[in-house]
Structure 1
């Protein structure tokens, strides 16, 4: 079996789109479709079904999906195990939330590759929940994300990079004498309650009986900050690390009462065959400071 066919099928099944799978694999949609067809011919069964522009695995495809992921992981691990070089080499797969990709990972990856030129780093952006699951499943070696509000499995390691209290975000020119009154008076841009930070903000509002004039609910702290800068509303968000070069005219106001902090850090799987790579990257993460 050509593992490239299996890889293409897994991407199509997970993404639900041949076009999106082609984009991720840097191939044409026709090439991806051909790979899936060749795999189906080799397996002697249909693996995906099409419905308009979307695709989904058939019952047979769903059965081999998880085993296919494991096969690809085992092959990747085998290549790393066979490397007898004393220098760090191989591929390190690292995930990051949008904030981490913009503000933190560029500096870390640059320093890591500068010290270990034989290492290939694959970067995958995503939400904290998606990246967490991929680390647990072994699809990623590590990820920089928001610590979940539940206990982490013992198969994973964790390093806290920073703790972020909630702050009131306003246009730079707005004067605030009472944070709670401002939250009730001004149009409110709610941070998505599907995120950890959004849940913490919602809990604070409920705890203190603050009724907001909600204008929208959205994910993306940089997007919220851009709206706040234009005077479209105020927001209650974690004190996140802004990307280098970001010069939005906004101001962060501390809250009058203590709030639960959002915890940002690195998670990794302890069972990775690339333990040396992970630990070397972790050393850089431990030395990271927000001003990088």
Structure 2
């Protein structure tokens, strides 16, 4: 049995999009044409590859296995095309970067602007990707570089065939409203057990981190307000509605008249910001990595 690379690509795109209609838009096909190709692929394999739900489509167990292999196949094909262009002295001039919002805010703008000056003819693009997503997009070549993170207590995502390297260690600080009873530079989690906390919803990385710290300290913490937006979290803290763990990289512009920043002395938690890319990245990707490291160094110096 020989798999058709075109149909494999369609399966991967549909799995990434979570929707046949969205994948059809991206590939410039009609949804019915994509459905027909997927049906042919399922018939060839003799098994269902996608489950249709009210929210869209998700791969079956067999489908997920084929998607994982398909991502690697597509990535290799794209890498082969880039190598041929380089051999013909046509340097690849495309770079797709995926990043989560807070890294995009503090690390990316200066680095992308510098890269654009260095490669004025390059086609640069940016996509929002919330961790732990994005690894499959790098494997398939839809993304050339991914900025992602890992909080304490959150399992590391396997990344066979990819390089993952640390860009920044971003300490998590305790944000307290001005007027809070604790005033020492370092505070202990046990001293904050009776406070109302502000964090992400269950399953979000910052909430998992907070829960992990609480379990380690044998504490139960009460999360009164749930949001993934750190800017809103700081506003809620400033309004006296609770306390929060906030990455140090986002604290440069915090209103110190309303919010005080403290170290969590007994745990010293930090999130790790990483870069993920395919092995043997082209010059465009290597240069962006170097520029992102400059941004990270400047951020460390500023904080």
Normalising by the smaller structure, the TM-score range is: 0.7 to 0.9
Distance, in Å, in 2 between the alignment partners of 1:19 and 1:145 is 28
Residue aligning to 2:260: 251
Distance, in Å, in 2 between the alignment partners of 1:43 and 1:18 is 15
Residue aligning to 1:141: 144
Residue aligning to 2:193: 184
Q: Of the candidates 165, 175, 193, which is equivalent to residue 169 of structure 1?
A: 175
The runs of 5 or more residues in structure 2 that have no matched partner are none
Q: Of the candidates 263, 271, 286, which is equivalent to residue 262 of structure 1?
A: 271
Q: 1:210 to 1:126 in 2, by over 3 A?
A: same
Kindly indicate whether the alpha-carbon contact (under 8 Å) linking 1:198 and 1:237 is maintained by their aligned counterparts in 2.
no
Aligned-pair distance for 1:186?
3.0
Aligned-pair distance for 1:98?
2.0
Give CA deviations for 1:172-202 in whole Å, capped at 9, x if unaligned: 5656326447623432113456455444433
1:204 paired with 2:213, answer yes
Kindly indicate whether the alpha-carbon contact (under 8 Å) linking 1:183 and 1:210 is maintained by their aligned counterparts in 2.
no
Q: Which secondary structure state, in structure 2, belongs to the residue aligned with residue 11 of structure 1?
A: helix
Paired positions, count: 284
Q: 1:93 to 1:2 in 2, by over 3 A?
A: same
Q: Which secondary structure state, in structure 1, belongs to the residue aligned with residue 250 of structure 2?
A: coil
Q: 1:156 to 1:50 in 2, by over 3 A?
A: closer
Q: 1:152 to 1:286 in 2, by over 3 A?
A: farther
Distance, in Å, in 2 between the alignment partners of 1:139 and 1:163 is 27
Distance, in Å, in 1 between the alignment partners of 2:169 and 2:230 is 16
Residue aligning to 1:77: 79
Q: Which secondary structure state, in structure 1, belongs to the residue aligned with residue 169 of structure 2?
A: strand
Residue aligning to 1:286: 293
1:39-188 equivalences under 5 Å are 39-40=37-38, 45=43, 50-52=52-54, 54-57=56-59, 65-84=67-86, 88-132=91-135, 134-135=137-138, 140-147=143-150, 150=156, 155-172=161-178, 174=180, 176-177=182-183, 179-180=187-188, 183-188=192-197
TM-score (structure 1 length as normaliser): 0.73
Q: Which secondary structure state, in structure 1, belongs to the residue aligned with residue 261 of structure 2?
A: strand
Distance, in Å, in 2 between the alignment partners of 1:173 and 1:146 is 32
The runs of 5 or more residues in structure 1 that have no matched partner are none
Distance, in Å, in 1 between the alignment partners of 2:276 and 2:260 is 31
Distance, in Å, in 2 between the alignment partners of 1:211 and 1:62 is 37
1:277 paired with 2:279, answer no
RMSD across aligned positions (CA):
4.0
Distance, in Å, in 2 between the alignment partners of 1:206 and 1:39 is 49
Give CA deviations for 1:147-181 in whole Å, capped at 9, x if unaligned: 47659768544443332223111335656326447
